[in-house]
Structure 1
């Protein structure tokens, strides 16, 4: 006699699962969380990537949730004044949360929650998203993707032209070059977001999402229960500085040493692979899967890289870099020219945007081994290369042929401006001062590389 009531209760639970409102749901294998800050000129790219997520959507074993922000619409007398650049029939603004289902459209009526004008440049907004996702969609494993697109190559622009002018003057003097044109985009001045200090920008609030804010806010939320993988679908994030910042947040970091093309990650391909192997995937396996997917998409057509970095081993690697820095400082007057020669032999990531501050760690250590005769420097540099060759830190990485050679691209980069002038021109240079307390970079404060850079750049004087 109770069977109809049981069926009714099961039907209600199923509806709650599909709509993403259930608080108590079966434990999935992987929950995928995508934080898509497109509150800038990047919204069209975000809609394309959302469509990729929706090609398959969520399953009971792999729920997919996304927090998508779009910039303010400009209204005049009740009519839309700003051009609808993305061509969608129902433009909207603000921030929406989605439990992504198959063929879903990213529209307010399909959202699980509407967050109004939430500031996506705030780490508190990110923290609330992760907390909500973990509470509502518990799983054995978690992947958090922090998404940041650009036009052509993944630098984003503000919708405010005055802000663009300031960024183009203060952060980067160059226009997009032939690489972005090959990607089918129009050249324009773009601010670099990504690297050792920040990852994303909210064009409505004019706030940056800083790495230190992510580190502190998610650290307080997660405690000892790390995420399995934190991935950055953004430029220049596979740095020792980033890995050091996020080492307490996740087991694996997946990110690029180089700029990323406009298409970024292929979420349709990623979801297919995850759904096919969800029960067998651990954090290490997910990292490898993401790298292999990126490799399948880009192969050798552009300058592209992606790395999977085991964050448990970041501390030991940072110690090795500190030991190298100490040895370089000891005989800096004698070693200065050898250091300069090794640095010149390393190509800069982001050079298509005239960036000169980020190089591959192993490439520098290798070139140093070729030019120095100092026994202590040789031992310290060899320790760095040996740790990377052991693949205990970077255990999976991909670099297109165009990203090899003098780039090295062995999987992890470091901040090393080509000259004192380049350091002085870096709008984020204060982040590499040990005395800085404004969104302080922990690697800078706790390791010796920053002391070496300060001494070396002052001595080089160019």
Structure 2
């Protein structure tokens, strides 16, 4: 696995590097793509570095695709091709081997972990081999948010805080963003992407450790050479697919790779900041729920072994929704999931059922985040993601404090507020008497979505009575949240409270010629509850009218079955009920001339219901297609 934390046990001395001014070769014609591979193999990855170079040479550069490598080798790991140990630059050609004679330049010993080295290579490569698109590949060990590119001569690595300004300098030299920055290294986390985002359009990397063999350069580059007009999104998508395919069914490890849009990261960071604010407010009261959510979240490697500090961010948010009991936090978690889904343009994974190191990739969504048991690195506070979201503050406190409630004594019930009263509960009343000054928030949810909320400042021991109404009649869950000093101090949930309203189903029973069928028996059954309403059609008009109470008879979205029968003949049809109004018109055709028995009823809905039915049918078709697509992609 591409992890080298043991090397970092030594003292690290980081510094700049002044490179000699070397004249580039004559400027080439503008290609479609230039791949700039910054291969830091001055460590135990020297052998895999040679192997990857040979994979690149299995394809080779063309007039439309440049494969440019800065290759730093090590002492004592691999003696092939002259056992040289300096840093050389290559324009990789088909069939080339990494010998000194094939190098474009020999730079001597270079500290590849120095930001100046990276800037020098990238700006030189772009100037010498100009292209419409640039792919900067950082090839080496990865340390998650801490950094990348470990160099044994001297023992150093490039921190994420150093990498950001270096990529910014490359952007300045190009006069535009780098098209793709990829890490053929372990643990390309959201923290690194946020640091580089202002200078990069797209990112490619793995949430977890990579096998030593890294990316399949032969199959990946062959595809680009075959179709050099591919866009950055197409190139990144192809790489994610080729990478996972190269390990599928054969690797002892689980693998994943994702393509992430840099342009979508600011929105994602804002959604994450909102989520973190409520998450931070929810502890320590919901500490056990948060810890349970973390424990259930897919966790990746440290030094190739289980128990690392990177977790899938999307999966964590899913577990928060499932376990927190805080509807505001759940809503923000879903918003974060939407932002992640928008940012991750392609994601491929293979989950080994029995991985050698016990680390799975069953819940990868493309973005991992540092979530240690106990944060111990103050350098994390300086990262752009920490500053923008307050995640570092949450990490510092999520295990501390005692989950002690400041009770409000909150209760909730359905009430009739009409004057004079009509016997229908048209609102939900919340009563509370907080034991401290703070903010009282009442949230109304339906099917896990917030449909109404109310927030009021409250004073110690002052009774509060709040009435809420929903957007339509139905059954709702009520959650009362009490915040003191910005911290959640009490949470009370009451489920299944009803807001009632009178409702009427209207329509006609007609024969196939459009003539009314009088005296027909009409029944309306809720498919979910089996509750039935019944009536008869008017003798002359064939019309019927059935009264109901929502949500006693149905709730929004229930499937209802309308049945009409006359003279031993019967027709039935189903439709989706809408509580977003006071009535619904449903007509049905009954063929009274047919043989006695059941015949298929032609149902004619009112305009609003018809549109709803069509939309629901469309959703069902879309869901089936999505499932089929997933089955095609999954092993």
The two structures have a TM-score, normalised by structure 1, of 0.77
Is 1:382 the equivalent of 2:334? Answer: yes
Offset at residue 448 of structure 1 (A): 1.6
Assess, with a 3 A threshold, how the Cα gap between structure 1 residues 199 and 355 changes in structure 2: closer, same or farther: farther
Offset at residue 64 of structure 1 (A): 0.7
Q: Distance in 2 between matches of 1:319 and 1:457?
A: 24
Q: Distance in 1 between matches of 2:306 and 2:28?
A: 49
Indicate the structure with greater helix content: 1
Spell out the pairing of 1:209-220 with structure 2 (5 A cutoff): 209-220=158-169
Is the 8 Å Cα contact of residues 311 and 368 (structure 2) preserved in structure 1? yes
Offset at residue 331 of structure 1 (A): 2.7
Structure 1 gaps of 5+ residues are 1-19, 73-82, 150-192, 435-439
Q: Distance in 1 between matches of 2:216 and 2:66?
A: 17
Q: Distance in 2 between matches of 1:220 and 1:325?
A: 31
The aligned residue for residue 431 of structure 1 is: 379
Q: Distance in 2 between matches of 1:286 and 1:460?
A: 50
Is the 8 Å Cα contact of residues 359 and 407 (structure 1) preserved in structure 2? no
Q: Secondary structure at the match of 1:340?
A: helix
The aligned residue for residue 243 of structure 1 is: 193
Is 1:122 the equivalent of 2:122? Answer: no
Question: 4+ runs of 1 displaced by more than 4 Å?
Answer: 403-407
Residue deviations 1:144-185, cap 9 Å, x none?
Answer: 111015xxxxxxxxxxxxxxxxxxxxxxxxxxxxxxxxxxxx
Q: Secondary structure at the match of 2:68?
A: strand
Is 1:454 the equivalent of 2:396? Answer: yes
Indicate the structure with greater strand content: 2
Q: Secondary structure at the match of 1:334?
A: coil
Q: Distance in 1 between matches of 2:401 and 2:362?
A: 25
Residue deviations 1:390-427, cap 9 Å, x none?
Answer: x320010011133897851011111111x23xx34xxx
Residue deviations 1:4-50, cap 9 Å, x none?
Answer: xxxxxxxxxxxxxxxx9543322100001100001112111111110
In angstroms, what is the RMSD of aligned CA positions? 2.0
Q: Secondary structure at the match of 1:215?
A: helix
Q: Distance in 1 between matches of 2:246 and 2:290?
A: 37
Q: Distance in 2 between matches of 1:27 and 1:359?
A: 41
Q: Distance in 2 between matches of 1:34 and 1:135?
A: 15
Is 1:415 the equivalent of 2:378? Answer: no
Assess, with a 3 A threshold, how the Cα gap between structure 1 residues 141 and 455 changes in structure 2: closer, same or farther: same
The aligned residue for residue 64 of structure 1 is: 67
Is the 8 Å Cα contact of residues 351 and 361 (structure 2) preserved in structure 1? no
Structure 2 gaps of 5+ residues are 1-22, 354-358, 404-635
Q: Secondary structure at the match of 2:257?
A: strand
Offset at residue 206 of structure 1 (A): 1.0
Is 1:318 the equivalent of 2:269? Answer: yes
Offset at residue 278 of structure 1 (A): 0.7
Is the 8 Å Cα contact of residues 346 and 406 (structure 1) preserved in structure 2? no
Determine which structure has greater relative contact order: mean sequence separation of CA pairs < 8 Å that are 6+ residues apart, divided by chain length.
1
Q: Distance in 1 between matches of 2:161 and 2:105?
A: 27
Q: Distance in 1 between matches of 2:271 and 2:259?
A: 20
Q: Secondary structure at the match of 2:201?
A: strand
Q: Secondary structure at the match of 1:217?
A: helix
Q: Distance in 1 between matches of 2:46 and 2:360?
A: 35
Is the 8 Å Cα contact of residues 350 and 356 (structure 1) preserved in structure 2? yes
Is the 8 Å Cα contact of residues 254 and 360 (structure 2) preserved in structure 1? no
Is the 8 Å Cα contact of residues 81 and 97 (structure 2) preserved in structure 1? no
The two structures have a TM-score, normalised by structure 2, of 0.56
The aligned residue for residue 96 of structure 1 is: 88
User: Of 127, 143, 149, which residue of structure 2 is paired with 1:194?
Assistant: 143
The aligned residue for residue 147 of structure 1 is: 139
